[in-house]
Amino acid sequence: MTAELHRQALTHRSAGQVNNERLEFLGDALVNFVVADELFRRFPKVDEGTLTRMRAALVRESALAELARELDLGAKLILGPGELKSGGHRRDSILADAVEALAAATYVQQGLDAATQLVRDWFAPRVAALDPAWHGKDGKTRLQEWLQAKGLGLPAYQLIAAEGPEHAKTFEVSCEVEALQQKRHARGHSRKLAETRAAEALLAELEKKA
């Protein structure tokens, strides 16, 4: 990869017009595809819903940011003055974008095979550590089991809003673990879906901090 393209992949939009936004756009699709392909091949008996949840666990923002920290990308990011001052090199969204941009830059410069191998190498230990039985459970069940394993009480769900016509309502729900002072909100086209999404978001945050 040329030094110029590598620099662009690590340049946040706050640092100028030549930045990694376009590369991040391409890299998002690339990382999702390679991870999906790896899961499809590695777990031939796992159903589509579980594969989807497994992929989501691997490519969510917090997981990509953790990978970026392992690669020490924070110290290499090129940020504008405002982001430098506010600690942008530690922000999950900026770190995750840099991972995706680097994958895309490898694809642009070296082709699909090289980019695919890079992403596979990045995710190999994470894929190996996945448990389909765990990810086959919905977010509410997984959150409950995680809390029980820590000796904590059940999460509390609260309906925040229900908007739209009766046949096409959108529900907003909060999921809170009072003992940990953690709460997340999510929306869905049913209350159950909103609760599941809120539980998944909260579990992702708790796992990140564990």
Residue 145 in tokens = 């089991």
Which pLDDT tens digit goes with each residue over 54-89?
898 899 888 899 999 999 999 999 999 999 889 988
Which pLDDT tens digit goes with each residue over 3-23?
899 999 999 999 999 999 999
Tell me the backbone φ, ψ of residue 106, rounded to 5 degrees: -65, -40
State the pLDDT confidence band at 210, using cuts at 50, 70 and 90. Answer: low
- The answer to whether 37 is a known ligand-binding residue is no
Say what the pLDDT of residue 135 is. 78
Say what the pLDDT of residue 132 is. 87
- The answer to whether 24 is a known ligand-binding residue is yes
Say what the pLDDT of residue 97 is. 96
d(CA 83, CA 208): 23
* For the chain, counts of helices (H) and of strands (E): 10, 3
Of 157, 143, 155, 145, the closest CA to residue 186 belongs to 157
Tell me the backbone φ, ψ of residue 160, rounded to 5 degrees: -95, -45
Say what the pLDDT of residue 76 is. 95
Q: Which are the catalytic amino acids?
A: 28, 100
Which pLDDT tens digit goes with each residue over 22-39?
999 999 999 999 999 999
- Topology at the third CATH level for domain 139-209: Double Stranded RNA Binding Domain (3.30.160)
- The H or E element containing residue 163 is strand 156-163
pTM of the model: 0.72
| Between 49 and 72, residue with greater pLDDT | 72
Say what the pLDDT of residue 166 is. 84
- The answer to whether 38 is a known ligand-binding residue is no
Task: Give the domain ranges of the chain.
Answer: 3-131, 139-209
pLDDT value at 103 more than 80: yes
State the pLDDT confidence band at 112, using cuts at 50, 70 and 90. Answer: very high
CATH architecture of 3-131: Orthogonal Bundle (1.10)
End-to-end Cα spacing for the chain: 36
d(CA 163, CA 171): 7
Name, of 25-29, 55-59, 133-137, 195-199, the range with top average pLDDT: 25-29
